[in-house]
């Protein structure tokens, strides 16, 4: 009897829009690559011209600076790292190198864990939402309308919004994981196992390698004596 893993029921080769998980991972990597590239361009332009993106404490309604030089350098380094991770995932899915997808998958798990902690903090400490709203600048859009909402309804709305985001992120994680399993399984299937009559296993080389080895050097021409 064949035993299947309990996680095998979640494995699928197709993802959103009925495309293959490999295609979906490539599109997801390109999308993240574009977003982080735009963020990097904004950060670099802010570093070259700080006055363009400088907000005073009066505009922010607090006694702090918005994105000083240290924070800008940290954000720039994070953007560069994200671009590298997204490029590795895109290249790994395109060239079918499963190991290149692992850093992007770990980033997705980390991002999902952070959003889960935010949802738990909102559920355990619902009063922090009102405290956060009071700390916003006076000219923040729709601040008064949001604060006028019933606190319980506001918590429910925020939890529902975070739950939708978590469900979407979980689906993207499953797509990338299925792509990793597909590429890893396809690479492992290149080596065939031949069981001989005396119960010994012999590893057979891939079919393509056999063709390349056969066509590597033609036999010498026949010369009559």
Burial of 104 (0-12, 13-18, 19+ CB in 10 A): buried
Place of tokens 């299947």: 4
Q: Which two tokens stand for residue 136?
A: 């916003």
Side-chain half-sphere CA neighbours of 167 within 13 A = 6
Q: Has this prediction a pTM greater than 0.75?
A: no
What pLDDT is stored for residue 222 in this prediction?
Answer: 60
Higher pLDDT, 5 or 36: 36
Q: For all residues of the chain together, what is the average pLDDT?
A: 76
168 confidence band (pLDDT: 50, 70, 90): very high
pLDDT digits (tens, 9 = 90+) for 91-124: 999 998 989 999 999 999 999 999 999 889 888 8
Residue 61's alpha-carbon distances to 65, 129, 136, 209, in angstroms, are 10, 18, 7, 68
Contacts of 205 (CB under 8 A, 6+ apart): 191
Is the distance from CB of 36 to CB of 84 less than 8 angstroms? no
Phi, psi dihedrals of residue 75, rounded to the nearest 5°: -65, -35
Phi, psi dihedrals of residue 192, rounded to the nearest 5°: -95, 150
From the centroid of its chain, how far is CA 151?
A: 33
Burial of 76 (0-12, 13-18, 19+ CB in 10 A): middle
Region 198-217: what's the mean pLDDT? 51
Region 48-62: what's the mean pLDDT? 56
């Amino acid at each position: 009897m064949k035993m299947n893993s309990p996680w095998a029921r979640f494995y699928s080769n197709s993802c959103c829009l009925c495309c293959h998980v490999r295609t979906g991972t490539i599109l997801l990597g390109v999308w993240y690559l574009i977003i982080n590239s735009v963020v990097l361009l904004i950060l670099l332009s802010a570093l070259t011209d700080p006055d363009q993106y400088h907000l005073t404490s009066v505009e922010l309604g607090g006694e702090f600076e918005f994105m000083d030089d240290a924070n800008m350098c940290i954000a720039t380094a994070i953007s560069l790292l994200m671009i590298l991770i997204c490029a590795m995932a895109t290249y790994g899915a395109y060239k079918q190198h499963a190991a290149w997808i692992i850093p992007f998958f770990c980033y997705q798990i980390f991002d999902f864990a952070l959003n889960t902690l935010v949802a738990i903090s909102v559920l355990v400490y619902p009063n922090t939402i009102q405290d956060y709203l009071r700390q916003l600048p006076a000219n923040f859009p729709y601040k008064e309308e949001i604060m006028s909402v019933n606190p319980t309804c506001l918590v429910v709305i925020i939890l529902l919004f975070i739950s939708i985001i978590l469900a979407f992120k979980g689906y993207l994680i499953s797509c990338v994981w299925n792509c990793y399993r597909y590429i890893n399984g396809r690479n492992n299937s290149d080596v065939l196992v031949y069981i001989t009559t005396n119960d010994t296993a012999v590893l057979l080389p891939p079919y393509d390698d056999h063709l390349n080895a056969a066509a590597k050097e033609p036999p010498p021409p026949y010369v009559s004596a």
